Structure formats: C-alpha cells, structure tokens
Structure 1
Amino acid sequence: MRILMLTQYFPPETGAAQVRLLEIAKGIRAAGHEVEVVTAFPNHPEGIIPAPYRGRFFRRDEVEGIPVYRTWIYPVPRGSFWKRLLNYFSFVFSAAWGILKAGPADYLFVESPPLFIGFTVMFARRVKRAKVIFNVSDLWPESAVSLGLVTNNTLIGLTTRLEEHLYKISWRISTQTEGIVRTLQERGIPAEKLVLLPNGVDPALFQPGDPERRLVQELDLEGKFVILYAGTMGYAHGLEVALRAADILRRKEEGRDVVFLFVGDGSERPRLAKTAQELGLDNIRWVPFQPLGEIHRYYNLADVSLSTLRRYKLAEGVRPSKVFPGLASAKPLIYVGEGEGAKIIRESGGGLVLPPEEPERLAEAVLTLKSDPGLREEMGRRGREYVIRHYDWQSLVRRWLEGMGLLGDRRVESAAGRRERGVSSGETEVSEQELRVIDQELGSNVGDRKP
C-alpha cells in the first residue's frame, strides 16, 4: 500500500504538527507500507527559507529515509492577514508540482489546517486516483471565528463551503481530539467515516535526565525553580496568565527564585516579550524553537512543565501536544485550561489542573509544587507511566491504521520499482552539512535569551 502525505509543514521545521506528521510517516513505514511526503520548503516559524533551497522551485529530500518532495512557498514570518493568505495559496499552487513528481499512491493523507490546501487535494485525488484521508487537527474556520480572529462573513462562508466539500469527498476523516469527532458527528458526518489519532510522544526521546551544566549557566538558572513552557505561543494559548503569575511570584519571598522558561515562538511572542519588558520581569527566559532531537534537554532543566489555554468555546475539545513531552519527562504538569487536556492530567495523576486566565491560582500552584518535592516526584512518576501506557506514538499509529482497516494491507512497491522511477533531473538529496545550515537558519540554536 502506498500513502502520499500532503502538508504545508514538515521537519526540519519544529512544532506540534511537524512532530506528529513525521511520527505518522514513520508509523506507516513501520507497518510495512510505502510513504512519501509533498510539503513546502522549510520556513516556519521564522519565515526564512534556508540557503540550500533559495533560488529553486523544487527539491527532493529524505527525512529519516522518507522521500520528501518540497516546493516553493512565499515565506511570511509575521504579517498581515493578506500576506498569510499569500503564504497559504503559494503552496496550494506549487504543491501541484510536487504531486506530479511523487510516485503512485493508493491513499492521499492531507493535513489541515491550513484549509486552503483543499484546493490542491481536488487536483491530487484525480491525478493519483487515490482515496483521501483528511486529517483535521483543528476545526477551521470555526476555531478562528471562536477566537475572534476571523470576522469577514464572506471569507467565513467560502471557507465553510470548502470545508464541507472536503469532508464529503474524503474516504476517512482523521482527527486529533474526541471533541472534533463529536462536532463533526453533530454536523452529520457518519461515525464510520471518522477515526481518532490523538497526539502522542516518543517515551524513548523524552525521559528523565539530569540538567546540562552548560545550559544551566547559559540561561542563568543556577539555584532556580524552573517552570517550562515549550511550544507555540499563539493567541489561543493565553500566555498572559504565565506572565502575570511571574509578576506575582517575584513579589513573594518564597517565589523569588522561580523562573519561567519559554522555549518556542509564535504570533504572540513579540507581544508577550513586550509585556514582560513593561512589567520589568527578570524571572523570564526566552529560547527560540528547538529541533525535536534537542528539546528534551530543556525539559531536563525544568522542575515543572506548563500548558495553558485561553477560555473560548472550542477549548473543550483541545488536547495540547505539549502535555505529553512533559509527562514523559517525568515532570509534574500544571495545566491551565478545560476539556480534554484537563481530563488527561486528572486521569494520569501527573499534575494540577487550573481554570484559565487566573494568574493568582497559577502562582499558588507553583508554590505548592515548589514546597513539596515528594509530590513532584510522585506526579512525575505517574505521568510518565500513563503516557507510556496510552500515548506512545508507535502504538497510536498502529491503532489508527487498524481503525481504517489498513494495518494488514502490505502491498508495498518493490525497491526495483522505486529505482525504476528514480530521481528526476533537478532532484537532489540534502546533505548533513546542509541540514546544519537549515537548522541554524530556522532558529535551532539557543541564541540570545532576550526577545
């Protein structure tokens, strides 16, 4: 069986979607199937295309042995709504070339958002004559409307019609949360068409370890009690609550050695940094996005991990991916939010659950964990045991394939057949040296702690 993945985001970029998509691809291959990926040139979140890709329209890479067909995209670090639309639609059109260059496919796996990739899907399913597995990691435009980020009724109407058409033409609709499954069922999608693939973690990568002395010194964390937030900093995450809690804690005798370590980036990062500066917070550290293979080093610096969400309608069905690395690293987790994420923390016994947007409660929870090393150790142990049992990526992907009836289908194209297709002119493999350049240009280094 041959599966072609179509996604705007993929490693070496970092982020929840990128990690999930690579794990899905690896899981498909581990099940004995053929998998290829059509994606954009690396550019997210910095909005910079690395040197090895500049001046090109197309390039063939491999990521962990998986063939990846990359096409040009209009990069946008942080821009206006219209510039972001240009970013989305540039890939909508360029991805068609990647589809043509990729091999035959029985199934087309599509990552959404961005929803506009659906236009490419309509082309790809006809060219490849493949069944569509439409992966909905976030309901769009519903989530954007719920957060007040999209208010144009014409755009909402057009994207809703596109969304409904994609649901109609899909063979299966895969989702990351039970809340999305329920919402789609309420909208009339048959239950047999829906399959759950929750976010997970690689427990072998994220496991307890000692903090690196160099990082401790570089980030000025000697003798500090470290609260780690690692991941995207978007509007939905409501990270103001962490800054307000940091402000409260620095004014308390028992909280003066508490430091909040933010690792990542996102649309809200500049505003958060400005707020921290205005408040005069000296108990904040900033580190850019890290590659998947490096982020565990920052969890080993932490005493507690943190996940936050703003209060909004669709938050009930959100299951933040950043929850799982923290639990796997045996760090007690403070979950500020409601819904499915809160349910996981309560079931695991691996942390504390707080209501959104209440910084006083967050500051209090930090001091509770700080004062009780035994509680932290017990929560850490329970959290790690829980994710190993329920959220190991390899097991999740196998169950997902089984739920679609694809686990036993092992019709794989022969190696000779792949050689026959070969690598077309203009296609190249990415070298180790180029990978280092790409990582550096995408902000993989620790860099300056200041925003």
Structure 2
Amino acid sequence: MKKVLIITSYFPPETGAASNRIFHLAEGLKSHNFKVSVLTPLPNYPTGEIFNAYKGKFKHTSTEKDIIIHRLWIYASNSKNKLLRLIAMLSYSFSLVWFFMWHKIPKTVIVQSPPLIVAFTCMIFLKSKKRHLILNVSDLWPIAGLELGAFKKNFSYKILEKIERFNYKKADLVLGQSEEILTHVKSVVSNQKTFLYRNYPEFKSPELDYKPTNGRLKIVYAGLLGIAQGIYKLCEELDYEHIEFHIYGSGAEQSKIETFILKHPDLPITYHGQVTRDELHTVLLQYDITIIPLLKRIYGSVPSKIFEYAKLGLPMLYFGGGEGETIIQKHELGWVAEAGNYEKLNRVIASIDKEKLSKVMRENILEKGKKEFDFTSQLIRLKAII
C-alpha cells in the first residue's frame, strides 16, 4: 500500500471549500488503496481562534476514517493586519519543520498552496529529503492578492513572486484547479509537469422534488462572507423589487451584513447564519436560484460551488467572470452577468422567467453535474500519475 502525506492549512472540522477539497482528496486516495496521513494546523478557521476541543494543545494526532491526522500548533489569527497574518503562517511553518525533523515522511507528499510561505517551507525541507513533491495550487498568489487590492507591486510583492517561482520549480508535479492556473504555471516554469485537478465534490445527489415558489424570485447565497465574495456590496446594489435574498455562512463581512439588514428592515434580505454542509444541501433546494459572486474577477479562480451546485441540480447565476463564467455557459448551468457590473446583474435577474425554473431544468443540470464533474474518474486519472 503506497503511502502519501497531504500538507494543508485547512481540514475538517474547519468548514469551507479549501477544507472540503483536501478532505475529499484524502478520502478518495484512501479508497484507492493509499495509506493517507494529513498534516494541518490545530483547527481555527474561519474564527481565527483555536477550536475549544483543541485549545491548550501543541500537537494532536488522531485517526479518522483510517486517515492519520496530525494537527500542529499555530499562532491563530484572522486579523486583516498583514504582520499578524505573516506571523500565523510562519508559526505553522516552524511547526512543520519541527515535525519533519522528528518524523518519518512518506516518499510522496502533496502540498497545498497557497499559503505560499507554508508551501515554500515544505519545498525547501522535503526536496532535500528527496521526496516526490506534488504542489496542489488552488489560487494564484501573489497575483490574486494584487487583483484583490491586498498587495501592491513593491519589493515585498517581488519576493512573493520569487517564492512562487521557486515552489513551481521544485515541485515534481503541479495540480491546478483551473486551466488558467496551469497556463500561468507553464508561463513561469515552461517544462513543469501539470495536471488539471478540479474541486469536484463527492456526495450522493438528492432526489429532486422542486416546485416553483410563488411571488418573488428567491435567490440564495451560501458560503464564505469574505471580502473577495463581496456579499455586503451585493446587499447594497441588488434591485429588490421582485426578489428575496437569503444568505448563509460566516466570515469577515458578517457583522457588516447583519448591521445592513438591521438598518434596512424594509428590504427582503434574510441572514440565516451558518449550517453544516449536509444541512445546506437540503436547505438550498427550497430556493429558485443561487448566486455565485466575486467582488472582482480573479485570474485562475473557479469557485468550487459551481461543481457542488451542479450535483444538486441548482440553477446558478454566476457573477465573477473568467473561467467560471465559461463553465456555466458551456454546460448550460444557469445565467452569467458581467463581473462587477451591478446594473447588468440586475437586468439579468429581471430577465429570469420563473415559468422556466422547472424540475426538468434541474434534472438537466444534475445530469450534467454527474457526467462532467465526476470526482471518481478524475481521481483515477490522478492516481495513474502519482
């Protein structure tokens, strides 16, 4: 049985796309006769505080579903302060180095990136141990940070670019969640071996029993309430004449959104808080459509919600541009509106005919989700090259 170690910054019981992606990868490899172990920080996302069950621990090891999970100390923080974020990443990097020094590391190691500095630490210390390093790139940093306004093109940015290039160069294989990511990697290291590994979900699709709702079009957003998603801005800009807007999730903008709702009690916006992923799969089906927004178009980013909602048969309104927009249009999963153009977004919403939001439409989306976004067939292709 081949051993593989996965190094990540997010893992259950933490929630979110990053955590789900790595969990499914670990479970999938285990089901294909790999002996899987995971290195991850003590759970702290998205609150920025170590979860109660793990407080006061320097290291916690457990076996869950035949996967060995080593949770290491981290200086937890979700602060917007760049120095505190750097300290958090460095603290986890130091914990990783300590672990590498005192534990036997499998020959094959999958490293999640970003964070760049964590991946950089792994590349330096594990390449010297002659390990087969697979870099799993979910977002392009520092480019994404620049597009989001988190970085400026200064000396620090150039350092991050050098770290990024080093990581790509030292990896034996780069996995990318989008074609744009792979194109970028090839532009940096032309001879690098790459593999398109999308964030396909693995769950049993529910039985569809949809009946169009009466009255207003019910739109739902579920997920991270972060700056990149721009849900607060969405609350401000939507035309509510013929719609209801329902929100699930948590994150940096949560308090702003709650305050906005309190100040505008006349608007049909409801914040439902956070629910588990399994609960969400049931809850979402009561709405007419879901919206997948990005505040700005981010090169390389393809929201994993696209693949998850397709397997729920849920019609989507995509408002983020880039490769995600192409996927929605190619597979006829719903509607798209030009990223950042709220006037256009409201026109697209107004054009949606509720008469066409039928069970048949959902069945077609569900069928395409099962056929085009199949987790198992993708994993089998990955297994063949690692």
TM-score over 0.5 for the pair: yes
TM-aligned CA deviation for residue 171 of structure 1: 0.5
How far residue 203 of structure 1 moved from its aligned partner, in angstroms, is 4.5
Aligned to 1:8: 9
Deviates more, 1:317-326 or 1:105-114: 317-326
2:230 matched residue in structure 1: 238
Amino acid at match of 1:115: L
Equivalent position SS for 1:69: strand
Task: State the shift of 1:367 in Å.
Answer: 4.1
**What does residue 373 of structure 2 align with?**
391
DSSP 3-state at the match of 2:37: strand
Q: Partner amino acid for 2:329?
A: R
Count of aligned residue pairs for this structure pair: 384
How far did residue 305 of structure 1 move?
1.0
Q: Check whether the contact 1:6–1:109 (CA below 8 A) recurs between aligned residues.
A: yes
Out of 321, 339, 351, the position equivalent to 2:334 is 351
**More deviation, 171-180/129-138:** 129-138
Paired position in structure 1 for 2:59: 58
Q: Name the residue aligned to 1:263.
A: 248
Quickly say closer, same or farther: Cα 1:139–1:280, change in 2 above 3 A.
same
SS at match of 1:18: helix
Contact kept in structure 1, 2:249 and 2:274, CA below 8 Å = yes
Q: CA RMSD in A?
A: 2.6
Q: CA deviation at 1:55?
A: 1.1
Farther off after superposition, 334-343 or 39-48 = 334-343
1:299 maps to 284
- How many Å apart are 1:281 and its aligned residue? 5.6
Code of the residue aligned with 2:314 in structure 1: it is: K
Aligned AA for 2:323?
A: E
Measured against aligned partners, the alpha-carbon deviations of 1:169-202 in whole angstroms (never above 9, x if no partner) come to 11001110000111122223325x1111011122
User: Separation in 2 of the partners of 1:181 and 1:282?
Assistant: 43
Q: Is the 8 A contact 1:351 1:379 kept in 2?
A: no
Aligned to 1:198: 198
Does 2:221 match 1:229? yes
Amino acid aligned to 2:316: L
Amino acid at match of 1:183: H
CA contact (8 A) 2:168 2:185 kept: no
List per-residue Cα deviations over 1:363-393 (Å, max 9, x = no partner).
3433443x42334434322221111001122
Moved more, 181-190 or 287-296: 287-296
Deviates more, 1:13-22 or 1:374-383: 374-383
1:78 — aligned with what? 79
Q: How do residues 302-317 of structure 1 correspond to structure 2 at under 5 angstroms?
A: 302-312=287-297, 314-315=298-299, 317=300
Distance, in Å, in 2 between the alignment partners of 1:377 and 1:244 is 31
The answer as to whether partners of 2:208 and 2:363 remain within 8 angstroms in 1 is: no
* Amino acid in structure 2 at the alignment position of 1:231: G
1:28 — aligned with what? 29
Letter in 2 for 1:162: I
Maintained 8 Å contact 1:69/1:98:
no
CA deviation digits over 1:282-317, x for unaligned, max 9? 3222244433333213312322111012344x44x3
1:104 offset after TM fit, Å? 3.8
Question: Is there any run of 5+ residues in structure 2 with no aligned partner, and where?
Answer: none
8 Å contact 1:14–1:289 — kept in the other structure? no
TM-score when normalising by structure 2: 0.90
Contact 2:245/2:270 (8 A) holds in 1: yes
Deviation at 1:240, TM superposition (A): 4.7
Q: Which residue of 2 aligns with 1:327?
A: 310
Q: What SS is found at the alignment partner of 2:111?
A: strand
- How far apart, in 2, do the equivalents of 1:60 and 1:209 lie? 43
Aligned to 2:228, what secondary structure does the other structure show? helix
SS at match of 2:246: strand
Alignment of 1:129-144 (within 5 A): 129-144=130-145
Give the corresponding residue for 1:382.
364
**Structure in which a larger fraction of residues adopt helix:** 1
Counterpart residue identity of residue 39, structure 1:
T
Structure 1 range deviating more: 70-79 or 2-11: 70-79
Q: Which residue of 1 aligns with 2:189?
A: 188
Q: After superposition, what is the alpha-carbon deviation per residue over 1:335-357, rounded to whole angstroms, capped at 9, x for unaligned? A: 11322111111122120111122
